[in-house]
Structure 1
Amino acid sequence: MPSPALYGALTALLFTTVPLSPSLSPSSPSTPSSPSSFDAPQAEARGTVLAARRAAAEGIDFGVCPAAEKLPPSVVCGTVRVPLDYADPGGDRIPLTVSRVRASGPATGRQGALVFNPGGPGASSTYFPLAAELPEWRRISAAYDLVGYAPRGVGRSAPVSCQDPADRVTGPTPAPTLPSEVYKRERIARAKAYAEGCARRTGAALRHYHSLNNARDLEILRAALGEPRLTYLGASYGTYVGGLYATLFPHRVRRMVLDAPVDPTPGRIWYHNNLAQSEAFERRWADFRTWVAKHDAVYGLGGTAREVAASYERVRAELAARPAGGRVGPGQLHGAMLGTGYDDRLWPLRAAALSAYLKGDPAPLVAQAAPSQDPGPDAGNGRAVYTAVECNDAPWPEEFAVWDRDNTRLAERAPFETWDNAWMNLPCAYWKAPRQRPLDVRTGPGVLPPVLILAAERDAATPYAGALELQRRLAGAALVTERDAGTHGVAGGPNTCVNGHLERYLLTGAVPGDVTGPEMTPVRRASCAPHPEPDPVSLERRATKTPAV
């Protein structure tokens, strides 16, 4: 998902200024129209070089942004065209939407373009140029053009579709933590139908929506922007794209910030990373309940984490019997509460909604949890891209018995997110497109300039172990840790220490100095104290707007 620290701030700003997630080779037999699996990596490498040369010659014609982007006149937009299949660079090309704000400082101090990928998979960063208006980004935006884009499949960038928007669920749904055999069979059927819908609605192009192509697209975007080397900020899944880019194109990296890193170990992409995420969410859910209990005088949900959990289960049971507003059942409640694992700014709002519901007022909960009644033409696009990329990226277990065994065991100690996460990813068990073999993200000493990694120690969406692994794999990388904090994505957020490291690196290239690691080897690391916990918000003073997640 997008980095809450930046995305929430920019969403708030947007709503005040405009109306209103070694080479690869296919695992399936080759076809006569494409290179063999043995030749594909070489063909794709050649295709990327040719496509980058073409993009450098064509550039990007920036102008007024389409109304669909909902951006103010200060932001301009353009299109870069990339090969659908890099093994066939002269074949079909697809458009990627690009947005930009020019550096605000003097030309003598300009350092180029800073490109942002917010993660997902399935998220767009076309809003990123709005960061120029935020105090935390003023010095950075004086030195850099801020560039956002919609990756392949997202928004207007050759969108992926897996179901008709009208087929999306808008009514109340269950969210059992102990699913019955009947419910499992129902979810298997839904997963098969969704996977079949992706294959049917996107067609033969579906196989080309994967992370390696996202990294190649980044190289084409760099060339089209006229930048000799790439300065990049990737958040969450965007760190995996950045790691792939650094491995494939190390000579093209100028500076790279990887915020809230995914564990890039090939064997963890993506099935085992999702299991680790579910376990980490249990810890973060406990952090939220502990915080609510500390403020029992405000919320009245219980003076201990266990009592808060009991209050939550009471809300779940009542919604199962009588959905709030006819639209919020246990499934919608659970979806809203998952946000507490991503961003602690949501804690007061979610706690206030639970409190109000138990006092007879369901309106705050409905406002925060109900699905949109008018989702628009792009409804479901983010999930479709997420599914296509993750399913295409790597092998997945193809027998439900494996999923059932692993998630049943995990749910015994981590029930909060486990089954919800499993159902989200289950279409990958029945995927029709060819699978990739994950790239071994890795660089040797002296190959890259120092990369800056940022991580929160209690991040649930991308557990902290991934940051340590990524630092080991990118020789010379520096790691800045926000201790005892868990907001997913910390760049440009409320921690001035983290932001100081970010700004210093982007403006000067400097990273934290060496400290002695556990094996008595020097490693580049620094730590920051946690940002303050959110203030409790009484029901009388609660905010009228909810940060985006």
Structure 2
Amino acid sequence: MTNFLQRAALVPLSGAALAATLLNPAAEAASPAAGPALAWHACAKAGGPLDQECADLSVPLDYGDPAGPRLTLAVSRVRSDRPEARRGTLAVIPGGPGGSGVQRLTQKGEALRKETKGAYDLVAFDPRGVGGSTRASCRLAPDDRRLVNLRPWPDADGAITDNVARARRTATECAGNGGAVLRSFSTANEVRDLDLLRRALGERKLSAWGTSYGTYVGAQYAQKFPGRTDRFVLDSSGDPDPSRVERGWLANMAQGVDDRFPDFAAWAADPARGALRLAERADGVRPFFLDLAARLDRAPKASTTPGVPLTGNVLRQALQNALVEDAAFPQLARLIEEARDPAAVPVLPPALAGPLPDEDAAVMLGVLCNDVTWPSSMAAYQSAVSADRARHPLTAGMPVNVTPCSFWKDAPAHKPTRITDEGPSNVLMIQNLRDPAVPYSGALKMRAAFGDRARLVSVDHGGHGVYLANGNTCGDRAVTRFLTTGERPGRDLYCAA
């Protein structure tokens, strides 16, 4: 069992004063700097800003026991290079669950600082369980940590018996090995951690750029602490329905893949693809892909990774991964060509060739299962899978299948906060029309929940992630204008391709 005492900073802060500042919002507002100190040191990373800094942030394991055991979060900062233009601090909130804020800041910090003309110090942290922060382990067997198994793909005939057994086994291992640290992995705690970072920085308000799952963290922060928000950008949002949360996001992926697949089909039918051209017409790519996946269901093909064949479900997961960005299309097309060529041995993408690190699997499962209660009827899951396979064959029922969350030992410690239109009008959403992970239909529900608090920039593009990601000048300009001047579109904005 992972012993969180070995990874946590256990020195408690001072008793009553600590409890007052952690639990009393008025006390925090009156004393914005009353947070744990951050000792910054240089930590330039390959490909990142040369002046990137790092520190450790001490946070309570349990905010209900602020004087109890503590965890450590890895924090990173890129300071404004134009102090005279600096107007505050902007938090970069990563996706996931399981994404690294420090890595995200390394990748995007220089471009973001340049785009915002030094208006902000940029900060980010690795959430609990991620990267350089306190981690936990479920001690799952390697096969249970393969992405194609963590994602609950049904058997070739649609049966979920094996999924049920794996989900039950995984939940049991996480309950036995994850301990209190794993139980603390949740969106609610990430929001509290973000606010503790705000206080440690001495800021009365934060601006933020949240991407993917980070949009939900940002939305929850804006709802829970509306008076502490400055300018919030939510890039690639899902449906915030508090009764479903991650369960809804997973289910919605089926529609997202259907929305996005035509982009790949048009690419794969273009004569310019040469040897990677999969069909003469775009409308021929989908039936070809479905037929190939079905043949691999019946007869998996050995790959260059010993013991890991290319199955129909591995091919479907490869499709889902590749639809995230156009740059991944060639790799997917090569895998498809290798699958249909009798003389070729398929080379699996690295993400599918081996298991995820155990700690990465633990944080992903922890947040999904700790945030909200999942249904427990196996018959209902089987029925949902059967219906979804017919409706969305590209994802074959996986998005509505059973997960370990149905067997999770502990009930969620905090109910998800409902997003409402109560609060300052300082949110700018931006969304691709064809996002395979969080479809546009879900983003419209986030937009509706915020009401006049938000504006939505809709970009006629496919893929996951918009700002500083797909080169759409209209979308980038709208976000940059908001972050640097506070000006948003008067109404929702459409950006052509």
Tell me the residue number matched to 1:213. 189
1:133 to 1:266, Cα distance in 2 relative to 1, 3 A: closer
1:468 to 1:186, Cα distance in 2 relative to 1, 3 A: closer
Q: Deviations over 1:486-516 (max 9, x none)?
A: 2111011211111101111111111001xxx
Structure 1's unaligned 5+ residue stretches are 1-41, 514-523, 531-549
Structure 2's unaligned 5+ residue stretches are 1-18
Asked whether the 8 Å contact 2:421–2:449 carries over to 1, the reply is yes
Tell me the residue number matched to 1:120. 96
1:332 aligns with 2:314: yes
Q: Distance in 1 between matches of 2:458 and 2:217?
A: 21
Asked whether the 8 Å contact 2:186–2:371 carries over to 1, the reply is yes
Letter in 1 for 2:40: F
Counterpart of 1:230 (choices 201, 206, 230) is 206
State the Cα distance separating 1:360 from its structure 2 match.
6.3
1:297 to 1:229, Cα distance in 2 relative to 1, 3 A: closer
State the Cα distance separating 1:171 from its structure 2 match.
11
1:381 aligns with 2:362: no
| Residue identity (%) | 32
Counterpart of 2:281 (choices 296, 304, 310) is 304
Task: Describe the SS at the equivalent of 1:365.
Answer: coil
State the Cα distance separating 1:219 from its structure 2 match.
0.5
State the Cα distance separating 1:241 from its structure 2 match.
0.9
1:427-466 equivalences under 5 Å are: 427-435=404-412, 436-444=414-422, 447-466=423-442
Task: Describe the SS at the equivalent of 1:233.
Answer: strand
Task: Describe the SS at the equivalent of 2:178.
Answer: helix
Q: Deviations over 1:110-153 (max 9, x none)?
A: 12221111221111120233356655651326222221211112
Tell me the residue number matched to 1:541. none
Tell me the residue number matched to 2:8. none
Q: Deviations over 1:330-358 (max 9, x none)?
A: 24333222123322221233223423554
Asked whether the 8 Å contact 1:82–1:220 carries over to 2, the reply is yes
Counterpart of 1:322 (choices 292, 301, 320) is 301
State the Cα distance separating 1:469 from its structure 2 match.
2.2
1:412-427 equivalences under 5 Å are: 412-422=390-400, 426-427=403-404
Q: Distance in 1 between matches of 2:395 and 2:91?
A: 32
State the Cα distance separating 1:61 from its structure 2 match.
0.8
Asked whether the 8 Å contact 1:258–1:454 carries over to 2, the reply is yes
Q: Distance in 2 between matches of 1:209 and 1:47?
A: 23
Letter in 2 for 1:324: S
Asked whether the 8 Å contact 1:172–1:329 carries over to 2, the reply is no
1:316 to 1:176, Cα distance in 2 relative to 1, 3 A: farther
1:534-549 equivalences under 5 Å are: none
Q: Deviations over 1:168-227 (max 9, x none)?
A: 56699899766447x522221111111111111112343322111111111111111222
1:367 to 1:273, Cα distance in 2 relative to 1, 3 A: closer
Tell me the residue number matched to 1:544. none
Letter in 1 for 2:137: S
Q: Distance in 2 between matches of 1:135 and 1:86?
A: 35
1:527 to 1:364, Cα distance in 2 relative to 1, 3 A: farther
TM-score normalised according to structure 2 size? 0.84
Q: Distance in 1 between matches of 2:383 and 2:87?
A: 52
Q: Distance in 1 between matches of 2:138 and 2:224?
A: 30
Q: Deviations over 1:409-454 (max 9, x none)?
A: 111010222533345x61011110112432111132xx31421110
Asked whether the 8 Å contact 1:328–1:370 carries over to 2, the reply is no
Counterpart of 1:352 (choices 318, 329, 334) is 334
Letter in 1 for 2:365: T
Task: Describe the SS at the equivalent of 2:348.
Answer: helix
1:268 to 1:118, Cα distance in 2 relative to 1, 3 A: same
Tell me the residue number matched to 1:146. 122
Q: Distance in 1 between matches of 2:174 and 2:25?
A: 26
For these two proteins, the number of residue pairs brought into alignment is 468
Q: Distance in 2 between matches of 1:458 and 1:149?
A: 29
